[in-house]
Structure 1
Amino acid sequence: MSLAVCLLFDPEGDRAVREIWARLEREGVPTLLTHTHRRHLPHLSYAVAVRWELETVLERVAALPDGGPFPLEFHGMLAFSRGRAALAASVTAEVARRQELVTAAVAGAGADLHRHYIRGSWVPHVSLATRAKEAQLPLVARAVSDALPLTVTVVRAALIDSGAGERWPLDRIP
């Protein structure tokens, strides 16, 4: 599937996103709770590679400077194609700069980035619904609006293979 450089949240933030997932699942809206291997974590992806050499990507990303933990705010929802919906993340210029450094490192490792993660194309988001039907989008919007505003703290990072759910924790937060 893909290899993502993921930002992971503090326990409260993780729980808040999981509560939205659970509410949507009760309403019949598929989320990452039940998608593929069912081991997904609430996260924000800095970069997603569709072809990669794990050791090289890990080496390049691990060499990036530690930016440390930071707050991440959500004030709305995004609707993407094929029934995908997400929390819209509000990021600072510093976080956008960090994302560009990560994508440059991943590309520099010889990996092929997904087109939505190349410089200038990133839409920072946290995935909620994976295959919502058009009639279910109001349910998603209600669940999101009931949870907003939401602030989480990014406290760690990892490389995650989305196909298998396998994770490689990073020692720092790029």
Structure 2
Amino acid sequence: MNSTFKFKLIQALNKKNGNKGFTLIELLVVVIIIGVLAAIALPNLLGQVAKGRQAEARTNLGTINRAQQAYRLENATFTTVSNLPVITTSTYYGSVADQASGNINQLGAAHTVTANTTYQNDILDYGSAVGQTNAGVYSAVICEQTSNPSAAPGLLTVGPGTATAACANNARLIQ
């Protein structure tokens, strides 16, 4: 190889290594890409957090429904939540309460659970009902409030504790 060519090649490589780093344009492109990805991912992440919090209410009400069915099998009537031998969690929701308008009798029972005040704008209220027909068939539902509790405050109403449990107009069936 020609010595002048070698010299110029080495000189060019040395000069190129002196310009290390990012240009402002490259940095701006990276920041914009990260911003777009964050704008897409953040709403999805927040929705998943709310769904995780709402799982507490669904779990508690499912436990109450199963306990009511077991109590009905042993005692020929449904009972209040306080008489059931179950423990529920209350991190994001208050304790499970008997629905004020529901009759608790041998036909069925209804329950509600509302979000703690800290989370009222983020998560929905839930209700459940359980019943048994004369043929001995149990029906149990868990209902979710259809609108944000801050927009429509008040307890979720679940169909009265009758032989066939159902959701009311302001709720949708989730189980």
The TM-score normalised by the length of structure 2 is 0.27
Higher strand share: 1
The TM-score normalised by the length of structure 1 is 0.27
Higher helix share: 2
Q: Which has the larger radius of gyration?
A: 2
